[in-house]
């Protein structure tokens, strides 16, 4: 783990120092703090980073499921990545994050070697104005991580006094702040940057926490490289809020209409 | 594991015999065979069953992610379920299925104690005719598991000669065959009973296999009990097919308009 003044804050936040093959130490980072503990997206990216750095890795990320098993305290942690099964073109992973001798978060993932096949895109790129036409949202002081993303809301700004709505959908342009070329790690984090849908649906702040998050990577490394640091278009919505939990789902698109990722999570809410 | 002539085929197929706390033996079942090896849904249900039978379990299933890590051979296997972290109202699990000393499938899950809160349903029950108005699809001989479900297609029947379409969506009524009261285990299996979307989108059979599957349970035990053995309405679709993989997502509804589950998977395809 070597970081310098020129290291992007995202790379500093997900940096892992090797202890042994597949085992690393890391630490939370103030620029990705949330109201309590770290932003979940940065933890998911750190867990994926343990796979990306693993000498046995086959291929690039295809899916990532992160369990936020307990509150994570600000400070250090240990990450261990294990390849559970390696096939000819896919590999299945289990990764744990340990603090105080207890698993606080864990992830499963698939990495895969991609190859050209028939292709078809069923999802439809949303009808939105270009990013440059929309002013960025100011950061939220009590959630430091929001200053690490540039968010330009087309619709569905959370927490607005008039936000009570039959729809939990948001459409927004977003990218890392400062700008940083997109890769699998930053895309993984960004997939958790859609505010809890309950804050779009109801004009009331309640305690919430993501319980588990699954992301499917549709883009390959070449598509991500072509993306550079251009903004991506996110479309997020929920299906159902009930008995202390809700789901939410999002699509992440390039400006040029490539579907880069789709993501799903289940979230706890207090009342 | 005690089964008799009156045991439903589903309960026989997911039956586990305890070896030690959290460790069980099970076996594939011919009524849930697929073209090669077992139907993935029945494997996911067997993995969840190891959690359901665990003496330390807290609450009911909230989420389940199943990794199909390698081909599963017809025959016996060992399942081990571990509670990774237990909180006041949620519990996070890791479950492995071992054959020939190798992990062939594994799962993570969250169980949770539910309580009444504000609720809101954003998803819309599809506009469909009642189940009784539609004839069941004949079973597919080379996929034995299809005879263990009654499927009444409103739209999106896979594999039809004229199925080439811009839409990968299917709407269908389905239930266990013979009829069986719905519970978390059968709902988990049923969430994998939507045919691969590529067979709806393209009139061509290719080799496919689910890589990983995540299900969110929206229903509580009381809603499932109220469901009895009535058919459920499923709506399945894909977002994107590319470079040997596609995603698919489905909602599962009661006849009375309750969202029972939502489910997502990433699937390998050969060409």
- Among residues B192, B162, B173, the alpha carbon closest in space to that of B131 is found at B173
Q: What pLDDT score was predicted for residue A205?
A: 85
State whether residue B1 sits within 8 Å of chain A by CB.
no
Rounded Cα gap, residues B213 and B65, in angstroms: 5
* Residue A159 pLDDT > 90: no
DSSP state of A195: P
State whether residue A65 sits within 8 Å of chain B by CB.
yes
* Residue A164 pLDDT > 60: no
Rounded Cα gap, residues A43 and A32, in angstroms: 9
Rounded Cα gap, residues A200 and A160, in angstroms: 8
Distance (Å) from the C-alpha of residue A115 to the closest C-alpha of chain B?
A: 5
State whether residue B127 sits within 8 Å of chain A by CB.
no
Q: Which residues of B touch A89 (CB under 8 A)?
A: 244
Mutate one of A69, A72, A115 to test the B interface: name it (highest B CB count within 10 A).
A69
Q: What is the pLDDT confidence band of residue A161, given thresholds at 50, 70 and 90?
A: low
- Among residues A32, A239, A50, the alpha carbon closest in space to that of A145 is found at A32
Q: What pLDDT score was predicted for residue B1?
A: 54
Q: Does the beta-carbon distance from B69 to A62 stay under 8 Å?
A: no
Please report the DSSP string for B123-160 in residue order: S-------GGGSPPPPPPTT-GGGGGEEEEEEE--TT-
Q: What pLDDT score was predicted for residue B204?
A: 84
Q: What pLDDT score was predicted for residue B92?
A: 98
Mean pLDDT of chain A: 95
pLDDT by position in tens, chain B (length 271): 566 778 999 999 999 999 999 999 999 999 999 998 999 999 999 999 999 999 999 999 999 999 999 999 999 999 999 999 999 999 999 999 999 999 999 999 999 999 999 999 999 999 999 999 999 999 999 999 999 999 999 999 987 655 556 789 999 999 999 999 999 999 999 999 999 999 999 878 889 999 999 999 999 999 999 999 999 999 999 999 999 999 999 999 999 999 999 999 999 999 8
CA distances from A10 to A14, A185, B114 (A): 6, 9, 36
Q: Does the beta-carbon distance from A115 to B69 stay under 8 Å?
A: no
Q: Which residues of A touch B63 (CB under 8 A)?
A: 211-212, 266
Distance (Å) from the C-alpha of residue B173 to the closest C-alpha of chain A?
A: 20
Is residue B210 a contact partner of residue B36, using CB atoms and an 8 Å limit?
no
Where are any strands of DSSP class E within A47-202?
Answer: 60-68, 76-86, 90-99, 102-112, 120-121, 149-155, 170-176
Distance (Å) from the C-alpha of residue A4 to the closest C-alpha of chain B?
A: 36
Mutate one of B71, B72, B87, B90 to test the A interface: name it (highest A CB count within 10 A).
B90
Q: What is the ipTM of this complex?
A: 0.96
Q: What is the pLDDT confidence band of residue A1, given thresholds at 50, 70 and 90?
A: low
Region A165-172: mean pLDDT is 86
State whether residue B238 sits within 8 Å of chain A by CB.
yes
Please report the DSSP string for A140-161 in residue order: PTT-GGGGGEEEEEEE--TT-T
Mutate one of A66, A245, A259, A265 to test the B interface: name it (highest B CB count within 10 A).
A245
- A2 exposure class (CB count in 10 Å sphere: 0-12, 13-18, 19+): exposed
* Residue A172 pLDDT > 60: yes
Region A209-236: mean pLDDT is 97
Q: What pLDDT score was predicted for residue B164?
A: 56
* Residue A87 pLDDT > 80: yes
Range with the lowest mean pLDDT among A62-66, A221-225, B1-5?
A: B1-5
A96-144 pLDDT tens trace: 999 999 999 999 999 999 999 999 999 999 999 999 999 999 999 999 9
Rounded Cα gap, residues A112 and A90, in angstroms: 4
Q: What pLDDT score was predicted for residue A116?
A: 96
- Among residues A244, A249, A250, the alpha carbon closest in space to that of A268 is found at A244
What number of residues does chain A have? 271
- Among residues A22, A73, A31, A28, the alpha carbon closest in space to that of A52 is found at A22
Q: Does the beta-carbon distance from A122 to B243 stay under 8 Å?
A: no
* Residue A33 pLDDT > 90: yes
């Amino acid at each position: 783990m070597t970081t310098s003044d020129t290291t992007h804050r995202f790379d500093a936040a997900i940096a892992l120092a090797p202890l042994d093959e597949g085992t690393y130490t890391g630490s939370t980072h103030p620029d990705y703090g949330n109201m309590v503990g770290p932003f979940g997206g940065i933890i998911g990216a750190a867990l994926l980073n343990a796979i990306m750095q693993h000498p046995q890795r086959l291929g690039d990320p295809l899916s990532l499921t992160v369990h936020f098993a307990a509150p994570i305290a600000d400070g250090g942690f240990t990450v261990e990545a294990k390849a559970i099964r390696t096939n000819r073109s896919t590999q299945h992973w289990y990764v744990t994050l340990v603090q105080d001798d207890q698993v606080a978060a864990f992830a499963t993932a698939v990495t895969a070697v991609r190859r050209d096949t028939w292709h078809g895109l069923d999802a439809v790129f949303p009808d939105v104005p270009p990013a440059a036409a929309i002013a960025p949202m100011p950061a939220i002081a009590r959630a430091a991580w929001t200053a690490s993303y540039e968010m330009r809301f087309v619709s569905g700004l959370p927490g607005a006094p008039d936000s009570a709505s039959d729809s939990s959908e948001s459409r927004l342009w977003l990218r890392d702040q400062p700008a940083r070329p997109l890769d699998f790690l930053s895309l993984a984090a960004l997939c958790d940057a859609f505010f809890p849908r309950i804050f779009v649906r109801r004009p009331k702040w309640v305690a919430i926490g993501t319980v588990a998050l699954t992301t499917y990577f549709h883009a390959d490394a070449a598509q991500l490289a072509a993306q550079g640091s251009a903004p991506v278009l996110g479309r997020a919505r929920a299906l159902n809020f009930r008995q202390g939990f809700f789901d939410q789902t999002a699509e992440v698109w390039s400006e040029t209409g490539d579907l880069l990722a789709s993501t799903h999570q289940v979230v706890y809410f207090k009342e």
